[in-house]
Amino acid sequence: MKRLNSRLQQDGAPLELILLIRTLLAGCKEISFRVSQGALAGVLGSTLSENVQGETQKKLDVISNQILKDTLAESGYVKAISSEEEDDVVPCNPEGKYLVSFDPLDGSSNTEINSLIGTIFSITHAPQWMEPDDPSAFLQPGTQIVAAGYVLYGPSTMLAMTTGRGTHLYTLDKTHGGFLVTQANIQMPKDTAEFSINASNQRHWEAPIQNYVSDLIAGTEGPRQKDFNMRWVAAMVGDIHRVLCRGGIFAYPFDKRNPKMPGKLRLLYEANPMAFLVEQAGGAASTGHGRIMEVMPTEIHQRVPVIIGSENEVNTCLEYYQK
C-alpha cells in the first residue's frame, strides 16, 4: 500500500506542502489517540466556555484546537490559522507560506456517545503582502484551496484528502503510525437513493428544499417514482464520508428561525473542504444558488447553506430552486 508521502509526490505536491500536511496529520494522530482513550483520559464532557459561534465548547473541542494550533504554529510552514474555536485569526510564522483553516472537532455532540467525530481542514497560499494577523487573507474562494481533507475518528482512523488531483482515502496504521492509501481516486456514483438532512427542521426550511424532501419521502408514490432511504450521523464528517464512499445527498439548508444566518455550516472549514473532496470524486456541491467553491467569503466564520453529493441528485435538488 502506498504511503502518504509518495501519493502526495505523485500528485505533484511541493515539498513544503507535503511537510505541512505531515505536521497537521501528526496533530490529528494525537487527537485520534486522545479520542480513543475517552473517559479514561478525562477528555469527555463540556467546558464552561462558549466559542464565537455561541456554542458551548466540549473539552475535546478545546483540546483538539490546542493540539492543532500548537503543532501548526511550531512547524514554521504556516503564516496564520483560523479555527472554529478561535474568535480571530491566530498569527504563526511571518515567513510561513500557507494559511490553514480548520474545524478541530466536527460532530462535538457525538463525543459523549462514542460516535463519529473528525477534523476538517483546508490549506491555501499565504499572500506575501499579508500581515500574519490579517483575517482578509483568509477570504479566498474555495477554488484557491491547494489541499483539503478530513480525518475521521471512527472504528478506524481515516483520512480523505485532495490536492486537486483526485480524492484519496487513507487509513491510519496504528501499529506503525502512518497513513496508507486504501482507496485512490475514489469516484462517487452519480445517482443515489439515500439522503441526509436533519428532517426535524423541515417546517423551518424554504419552499424549494421542503418540496424536494417531501418528494423524496413520497417515494414510489410521488413524482420521483423511487423509494429513498435516510441517514443522519449529526457529524458532517461522518455523513460526507458515507456520501463519498457510496453516494448520497447531504444538505444543511437555510433555516427561517435564524434569518441572519444563511445556514449552519461554516464556509472556510466545513463547506469548502467537503465541496473540494466531493467535486474531486465526481460529485457536486452547491449552496442552492451557486457552486460552494465559488462563494467569495466576507468573514472567517461565515456560514453557508450546503447541498453536497451525487451529481445527478444534487442537480435534481437544484431544479427545485430554479422553479
Q: What is the contact surface with ligand AHG in residues (CB under 6 A)?
A: 55, 84, 103, 106-108, 198, 234-236, 264
198 annotated ligand binder = yes
Question: Of these partners, Mn ion, ligand AHG, none, which one is at the site of residue 198 (CB under 5 to 8 Å by kind)?
Answer: ligand AHG
Q: Is residue 194 part of the contact set for Mn ion (CB under 5 A)?
A: no
Stretch that binds Mn ion, among 28-36, 88-96, 98-106, 210-218 (CB under 5 A): 98-106
Closer by beta carbon to ligand AHG, 23 or else 108: 108
Closer by beta carbon to ligand AHG, 106 or else 311: 106
Q: In angstroms, how far is the first alpha carbon of the chain from the final one?
A: 48
Question: Of these partners, Mn ion, ligand AHG, none, which one is at the site of residue 235 (CB under 5 to 8 Å by kind)?
Answer: ligand AHG
What residues between 48 and 87 interact with Mn ion by CB under 5 A?
A: 55, 84
318 annotated ligand binder = no
32 annotated ligand binder = no
105 annotated ligand binder = yes
Closer by beta carbon to Mn ion, 108 or else 280: 108
54 annotated ligand binder = no
Closer by beta carbon to ligand AHG, 60 or else 72: 60
Q: Cβ(1)–Cβ(180) under 8 Å? A: yes
Closer by beta carbon to ligand AHG, 69 or else 264: 264
Closer by beta carbon to ligand AHG, 4 or else 275: 275
75 annotated ligand binder = no
Question: Of these partners, Mn ion, ligand AHG, none, which one is at the site of residue 234 (CB under 5 to 8 Å by kind)?
Answer: ligand AHG
Question: Of these partners, Mn ion, ligand AHG, none, which one is at the site of residue 34 (CB under 5 to 8 Å by kind)?
Answer: none
99 annotated ligand binder = no
Residue 164 region by backbone torsions, left for phi larger than 0, else alpha for psi between -120 and 50, else beta = left
- Summarize the annotated binding site as residue ranges: 84, 103, 105-109, 198, 264, 270
Contact residues toward Mn ion (CB under 5 A) are: 55, 84, 103, 105-106
- Summarize the annotated binding site for Mg(2+) as residue ranges: 84, 103, 105-106, 270
